[in-house]
Amino acid sequence: MASVRKSGGENLLVRYIILVSWALVCVVPILWFLTIGFRPRTEIIVPEPIYWPTWSLDAWRLLVSDWPIALYLRNSILAVAGSVVIDLVLAIPAAFALARYEFKGREDIGFYILSTRMMAPAIVAVPIFFLFKNIGLLDSVWALMLIYAAINLSLVTWIIRSYMLDIPKELEDAARTDGASDLTILREIMIPACLPGIITAAVIAAIFAINEFLFTLLIASTSKAYTMSVALANFTGGSDGVIYNAIALVSFIAFAPILILVILIQKHLSRGLTMGAVKG
């Protein structure tokens, strides 16, 4: 018995060592990167790494005084949140129809919707540019909102649809014999029942949208419509050469909201991703 218990303990120890090492591999670069943001400029490019920094808020001061970070953050949040709302408003009824109604070509339409995800975005970059130029929406957050929504709509529809397919048909039949209309079934039965899927889809869409670079660069020709992703790429620190501590800090600020969001809804997200993988 004792030997069994011992080998079980050793097993557990090995597991912990492997998992902790992997966690370190993932987390240490992020922490290192964060410390760069809080070092003085002189401590960054040095022959020997300095492991314990002299803490400094230089980079932070530079950001706040010289750089419209609030504007970029506002643009990012507005464009991303708006696009997610548009996606959900359009995708939920579409997913319901694709999951539940019997009509000719249902599978084809579902596949067509997904297939819009399959082409390289660069292919449509030029047409999109002219489209927005003609409707006078260049250099505007609203344009970004529409583009992000369009990019993610198929994926959001597909994720929510696979969740809806997993909701037992009996629930809907029960609601129907209880006297519910289609809209009531969607609102009172389906949406609450697949809320984890809707949250997952929204977060994935938000991650894709906040990281979107190509179209943002194309549409946002001045800093008026810059989002964090494009502003970050253009940011070098100004006339004083490349200021790495400020860049690190900006990068971290761009990265933090999504990190926090993902930690908060981790449980739903992993379930949603595997479900999408199996069913989609």
Partner 1 sequence: MASILLKNIVKSFGSFVGVQDMNLDIVDEEFLVLLGPSGCGKTTTMRMIAGLEHPTEGEIRIGGELMNDIDARDRDVAMVFQGYALYPNMSIYENIRFPLRMRQVPKAQHDERIRRAAEMVELGPFLERKPGALSGGQRQRAALARAIVRQPQVFLMDEPLSNLDAKLRASMRVQIKHMQRELKVTTVYVTHDQIEAMTLADRIVIMNKGVIQQIGTPDDIYSNPANTFVAGFIGSPPMNLIAGTAQNGTFSAAGARVPCPANLSGNITLGIRPEDCLVGGDNLQGLVYGVEPTGDITYLTVRTANKTVEIKAGREFRAPIDSAIAVGFDTSRLYFFGEDGARVGGN
CB of 173 to partner 1, least distance (A): 5
- Identify whether the C-beta of residue 211 lies closer than 8 Å to the C-beta of residue 126: no
CB of 210 to partner 1, least distance (A): 30
Q: Which of residues 142-161 bind partner 1 (CB under 8 A)?
A: none
How far apart are the C-alpha atoms of 224 and 141, rounded to whole Å?
8
**Length in residues, the chain:** 280
Quick check: 256 binds partner 1 (CB under 8 A)? no
Residue closer to partner 1 (CB basis): 160 or 249: 160
- Identify whether the C-beta of residue 272 lies closer than 8 Å to the C-beta of residue 201: yes
Residue closer to partner 1 (CB basis): 57 or 171: 171
Residue closer to partner 1 (CB basis): 48 or 170: 170
- Identify whether the C-beta of residue 141 lies closer than 8 Å to the C-beta of residue 209: no
Give residues with Cβ within 8 angstroms of 218, minimum separation 6.
Answer: 125, 128, 129
The count of chain residues that interact with partner 1, using the rule CB under 8 A, is 18
Angle between helices 69-100 and 106-115 (to 10 degrees): 160
CB of 165 to partner 1, least distance (A): 16
Quick check: 106 binds partner 1 (CB under 8 A)? no
How far apart are the C-alpha atoms of 4 and 10, rounded to whole Å?
10
Contact track, partner 1, 170-189, x by CB under 8 A: xx-xxxxxxxxx--x---xx
CB of 185 to partner 1, least distance (A): 10
> What letter represents residue 76's amino acid?
S
CB of 196 to partner 1, least distance (A): 11
Residue closer to partner 1 (CB basis): 136 or 168: 168
First to last CA, the chain: 47
Cα–Cα distance list, 59 to 44, 231, 245, 256 (Å) = 12, 16, 6, 17
Which of 105, 136, 192, 241 binds partner 1 (CB under 8 A)? It is: 192
CB of 184 to partner 1, least distance (A): 7
Quick check: 102 binds partner 1 (CB under 8 A)? no
Nearest to 189 by CA among 167, 215, 209: 167
CB of 102 to partner 1, least distance (A): 12
Q: Which of residues 43-62 bind partner 1 (CB under 8 A)?
A: none
> What letter represents residue 179's amino acid?
G
Residue ranges in contact with partner 1 by CB under 8 A: 168, 170-171, 173-181, 184, 188-189, 192-193, 195
